[in-house]
Amino acid sequence: MGDNIVGIEYNRVTNASSTDFPGHSSSEDNSWDIEKFKDQFDIQISYITERTANFDLVNIDTSISNAFRRIMIAEVPSVAAEAVYMFMNTSVIQDEVLAHRIGLIPLKIDPDLLNWVDKTQDENERYTEENTVVLSLDVVCSKNTHAPKNSTNPKELYKNAHVYAKDLKFEPQGNQAERFKNSPVVASDPDILLAKLRPGQEISLRAHCVLGIGSDHAKFSPVATASYRLMPVIDIKEPIKGSSAKRFQKCFPSGVIAINNNGEAYVKDARKDTVSREVLRHDEFDGKVKLGRKRDHFIFNVESTGAMSPEEIFFKSVRVLKNKAQYLRNCPISQ
């Protein structure tokens, strides 16, 4: 296998270390050329939905792809509840536990519409309509006089027996009604259960939501998961035919290996392989197949919490990395 393939053997991994020059092997010219990079770099999109995205970054160094992953998790800003003001809480859930649950609710709020809170200002003047969104929760549980006879379902016996994320209501401040008119402020998942109430119990509170990043608190992370894996490589060294081909096929997940009209096994889609090494356990395939992973081909999977689309999260991670690079370029070199 080539220099950019990580070898997967029965009991070890080979060729795992990279060189000191990202994106190049020791046998090549180590001078970095942006035109060469632009010519070789490729993005392949498998699918994008409202909450998930799967795409490939090809011909890029591990340090850069891992930077994108870490930035998406910890440095792309989003909005979450930072301060919860309790006016009444007679439920069985303690104030601090309820506040924590509200803080973890993903909110569908465009972070670009808010400014960062200036923590150097006095606390009484720190939060304004430019940097804070106010959500209110006012719920009282009471008996349902029209409940079906002999019913034991709390949702039928009582009104507001369950308090959900959708019960959080946006309270526009200043010009926020106009600013957020095209992007309503709601919970990304309206049916997240916050508390259960019984007749006479009440919750009344206000939540102040601000910008933040995941490295400060997980509630600000816009992704549920952001991960990547290297593209699997399956190199069949010798023909595998007949019943042996069928056994070979069963060593891999469905769709990875196919058998042609001549009864010979071939690699149909290496992308589906989980690199379980099952094929290396069987003596009959010893020396007939070589497993590996492409060092510079990354398969990304991004799951959004719903605050913003997964492609927007990735684009913002690129913007963050660009700003970091620009900052370093502008820093004076210390003498």
Asked, for residue 323, whether it belongs to a domain, the answer is no
The one-letter code for the residue type at 22 is P
Residue-range definition of the domain harbouring residue 62: 5-25+32-75+224-300
Tokens of 309: 């689309």
The pTM assigned to this predicted structure is: 0.85
Q: 288: which DSSP letter?
A: T
- Phi then psi dihedrals of residue 65, to 5 deg: -65, -40
- Same domain as 48, residue 136: no
Q: What pLDDT score does 139 carry?
A: 96
**Residue 333 and residue 330: Cα distance in Å, rounded?**
9
Distance of CA 30 to the CA centre of its chain: 34
What is the model's pLDDT at position 19?
A: 60
Tokens of residue 60, six digits: 């890029």
Stated as kind and residue range, the H or E segment containing 137 is: strand 133-140
C-alpha 215, offset from chain centre: 14
Is residue 314 domain-resident?
A: no
78-89 and 107-108 as β-strands: parallel, antiparallel, unpaired?
unpaired
- How many whole angstroms separate alpha carbon 155 and alpha carbon 161? 6
What DSSP assignment string belongs to 103-121? HTS-EE--GGGSPPP-TTS
Judge whether 312 lies within some domain: no
Query: What pLDDT does 30 receive?
Result: 65
Nearest Cα to Cα of residue 325 among 21, 48, 63: 63
Over the stretch 276-322, which tens digit does the pLDDT of each residue have? Answer: 999 999 999 999 999 999 999 999 999 999 989 999 999 999 999 99
Domain count, the chain: 2
Q: Are residues 163 and 51 in the same domain?
A: no
3-state SS class at 42: strand
Which of 290, 313, 261 minimizes the C-alpha distance to 2? 290
- Residue 312 — φ and ψ, nearest 5°? -65, -35
Residue 210 lies in a domain: yes
Only one residue has tokens 């990279």, namely 18
Q: Is 334 a member of any domain?
A: no
Question: What stretch of H or E contains 5?
Answer: strand 5-8
CA distance 135 to 168: 6
Please give the Cα distance from 44 to 63 (Å, whole number): 19
Q: Is residue 321 part of a domain?
A: no
Rounded CA-CA distance 312/256 in Å is 31
Q: Over its length of 335 residues, how does the chain's per-residue pLDDT go in tens digits?
A: 567 888 888 888 888 876 655 555 666 666 777 888 889 999 999 999 999 999 999 999 889 999 999 999 999 999 999 999 999 999 999 999 999 999 999 999 989 999 999 988 888 888 899 999 999 999 999 999 888 888 888 888 999 999 999 999 999 998 999 999 888 899 999 999 999 999 999 999 999 999 999 999 999 999 999 999 999 999 999 999 999 999 999 999 999 999 999 999 999 999 999 999 999 999 999 999 999 999 999 999 999 999 899 999 999 999 999 999 999 888 876 54
DSSP string, 154-223: HHHHEES-EEEGGG-EEE--TTHHHHTTTS--EESSTT-EEEE--TT-EEEEEEEEEEE-TTT-GGG--E
Residue 274 sits in the same domain as residue 139: no
Buried b (16+ CB within 10 A) or exposed e, 207-239: bbbbbbbbeeeebbbbbeebebebbbbbebeee
Q: What is the pLDDT of residue 125?
A: 84
Query: Per-residue pLDDT tens for 159-201?
Result: 999 999 999 999 999 899 999 988 889 999 999 999 999 999 9
Q: What confidence score (pLDDT) does residue 232 get?
A: 95
According to DSSP, residue 283 is labeled G
Residue 212 domain flag:
yes
Which helix (H) or strand (E) segment holds residue 99: the answer is: helix 95-103
106 and 217, same domain (yes or no) = yes
Same domain for 147 and 46? no
Q: Give the CATH number of the domain where residue 241 resides.
A: 3.30.1360.10
> Do 177 and 196 lie in a common domain?
yes
pLDDT at 335: 46
CATH of residue 199: 2.170.120.12
